[in-house]
């Protein structure tokens, strides 16, 4: 994945636990990069190793860490560096989610070798959507949950997220029922 993902993880861990904890994580993951270049592609294994080591060192289950990271990605990384893209994605949570399947198309302009997730979104009742998430990477459903909570906060909308299908159980996608008040 592009270095911006690893960089953002580093920033989140340093903000929450301090730089010394990050050094322990690098050591445990056997990664020598002192910093990550946003626009350089790194092997996915680097990101997975960092998440695994961060979970071991902080004691936070990997799912919880990924969820926290999803929220951080929207509210900190996204807002700070790509606020205009988030704004262009929709004026409220519902519009943003309906537009989500096209969202990463714009990001190709910044990161041409992006291997983005794919989303399908359909209405589910008057105040909710059924969101399907496809990826060639495994294990990132908790990241999506965190992203959805982050978007809820971004649009000041209380949101519930229930995973209704999982790749872990013989589907080729994860599915979430997202609802708001």
Which residues 15-44 are close enough to bind ligand HEM by CB under 6 A? none
CB 110 within 8 A of CB 116: no
User: Is 39 strand, coil or helix?
Assistant: coil
Q: Are strands 174-180 and 118-123 parallel, antiparallel or unpaired?
A: unpaired
Tell me the per-residue interface mask from 55 to 94 with ligand HEM, x by CB under 6 A, - otherwise.
Answer: -------------------x---x---x--xx--------
Q: Which of 56, 114, 120, 177 binds ligand HEM (CB under 6 A)?
A: 114
Closer to ligand HEM by CB, 5 or 50: give it.
Answer: 5
Q: Can residue 140 be called a binding residue for ligand HEM (CB under 6 A)?
A: yes
Contacts of 181 (CB under 8 A, 6+ apart): 127, 157, 158
Gap between the Cα atoms of 58 and 41, Å rounded? 26
- Nearest Cα neighbor of 104 from 92, 121, 86, 91 is 86
Residue 131 beta carbon to ligand HEM: minimum distance, rounded to whole angstroms = 8
**Contact set with ligand HEM (CB under 6 A):** 1-2, 4-5, 74, 78, 82, 85-86, 100, 103-104, 107, 111, 114-117, 135, 137, 140, 143-144, 147
């Amino acid at each position: 994945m592009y270095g911006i993902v690893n960089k953002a993880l580093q920033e989140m861990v340093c903000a929450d636990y301090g730089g010394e904890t990050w050094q322990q994580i690098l050591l445990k993951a056997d990664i020598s990069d002192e910093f990550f270049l946003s626009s350089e592609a790194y092997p996915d294994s680097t990101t997975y190793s960092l998440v695994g080591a961060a979970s071991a060192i902080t004691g936070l289950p990997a799912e919880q860490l990924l969820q926290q990271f999803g929220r951080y990605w929207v509210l900190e990384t996204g807002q700070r560096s790509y606020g205009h893209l988030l704004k262009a994605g929709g004026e409220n949570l519902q519009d943003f989610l309906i537009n989500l399947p096209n969202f990463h198309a714009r990001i190709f302009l910044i990161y041409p070798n992006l291997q983005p997730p794919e989303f399908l979104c359909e209405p589910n009742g008057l105040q909710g959507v059924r969101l399907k998430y496809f990826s060639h990477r495994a294990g990132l459903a908790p990241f999506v949950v965190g992203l959805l909570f982050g978007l809820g906060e971004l649009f000041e909308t209380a949101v519930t997220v229930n995973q209704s299908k999982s790749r872990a159980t013989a589907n080729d996608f994860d599915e979430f029922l997202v609802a708001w008040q």
